[in-house]
Amino acid sequence: MLSQQLTTFVYDPSDREIEKQLDNETRSVTSYDAAGQMLVVSNLESDNSVISRFTYTYDPIGNRLQEVRNEGATTLRVRTGPDEPSRDPNCPEPTVTYDNHKRQKIRKVTTWG
User: At 65, which CATH number?
Assistant: 2.40.128.720
Per the domain annotation, does 38 fall within a domain? yes
Per the domain annotation, does 92 fall within a domain? no
Domain hosting 70: range is 6-87
For 83, phi then psi, to 5°, come to: -85, 110
- Torsional sign, CA 100, 83, 112, 90: positive
Per the domain annotation, does 106 fall within a domain? no
72-102 per-position pLDDT tens digit: 555 555 444 333 343 444 445 555 566 677 6
Per the domain annotation, does 44 fall within a domain? yes
Q: How far apart are CA 70 and CA 53, in angstroms?
A: 5
pTM: 0.64
Q: How far apart are CA 95 and CA 109, in angstroms?
A: 6
Per the domain annotation, does 72 fall within a domain? yes
User: Domain count of the chain?
Assistant: 1
Per the domain annotation, does 98 fall within a domain? no
Per the domain annotation, does 74 fall within a domain? yes
- HSE, CB side, 13 Å, CA atoms: give it for residue 25: 5
**Residues in contact with 95: Cβ distance below 8 Å, sequence separation at least 6, in sequence order:** 107, 108, 109, 110
Confidence of residue 57 (pLDDT cuts 50, 70, 90): confident
Q: Tell which residue, 63, 71, 15, 13, has the closest CA to residue 41.
A: 71
16-39 per-position pLDDT tens digit: 999 999 989 999 999 999 999 999
